[in-house]
Amino acid sequence: MFHLAQVNIGITKGAMDSAVMKVFSDNLDPINAIAEASEGFVWRLKDEGGNATDIAFSDNPNELVNMSVWESVDGLKHFMFKTHHIDFLKRKKEWFETPSEATYVLWWIRSGHIPTIEEAKHKLSLIRKHGETAEAFSFKKVFAAPNDGLMNN
């Protein structure tokens, strides 16, 4: 059985405690609670404080990472586009720099596997270099979960 892993990153327009990031920062816990209560949610990256804002994805201190695992594409899509999360997604330009390359990627993992930051970096580099493939894809071209049992992770 396979689950869907996702990572998305963004460069903030200020420090998390800055005025420009206040609304975003103030709503992290409620939005994360919606994710965790959503049907199909399996796991999300978080530190002792309950979020991932202090977890480094790169050397850039303003780069935030969000990584989670879902039972299905539909579960993730429902959370992203059919809950209060969509209100913040629509406002992302207020808090994040406009990216010049892909900032999120989806990939299939074996049920029970917890993806690492290094794995997420690798998958993001794959979609940036090769576009949509069965190994690293986006909502633009979703690939079905493997059924041959030959995946490495």
Q: State the pLDDT at residue 147.
A: 82
Q: What is the mean pLDDT of residues 102-130?
A: 98
What pLDDT is recorded for position 7?
Answer: 98
Q: Is residue 39 part of a domain?
A: yes
What CATH code is carried by the domain that includes residue 40? 3.30.70.100
Tell me what the pLDDT averaged over the chain comes to: 95
Mean pLDDT confidence for 38-57:
94
- Considering the domain boundaries, does residue 142 fall inside one? no
Residue 150 domain-assigned (yes or no): no
Specify the number of domains making up the chain.
1
Q: Cα 44 vs. chain centroid, distance in angstroms?
A: 9
The pLDDT-based confidence of 23 (bands split at 50, 70, 90) is very high
5-28 average pLDDT score: 97
Tell me, yes or no, whether 105 lies in a domain: yes
DSSP secondary structure letter of residue 80: H
Any domain includes 151:
no
The domain of 101 spans 2-130
List C-alpha distances in Å: 140 to 3, 30, 72, 143: 18, 28, 16, 10
**Residue 142 backbone phi and psi in degrees, to 5:** -80, 135
pLDDT of residue 148: 54
What value does the mean pLDDT take over residues 126-141? 97
In a domain, 118, yes or no: yes
3-state secondary structure labels for all residues of 20-70: HHHHHHHCHHHHHHHHHHCCCEEEECCCCCCCCCCCCCCCCCCEEEEEEEE
> In the chain, pLDDT over 90 holds for what percent of residues?
93
- pLDDT confidence of 151, banded at 50, 70, 90? very low
CA distance 146 to 37: 27
Mean pLDDT score, 84-106: 97
Classify residue 149: in a domain, yes or no.
no
* Domain membership flag for residue 98: yes
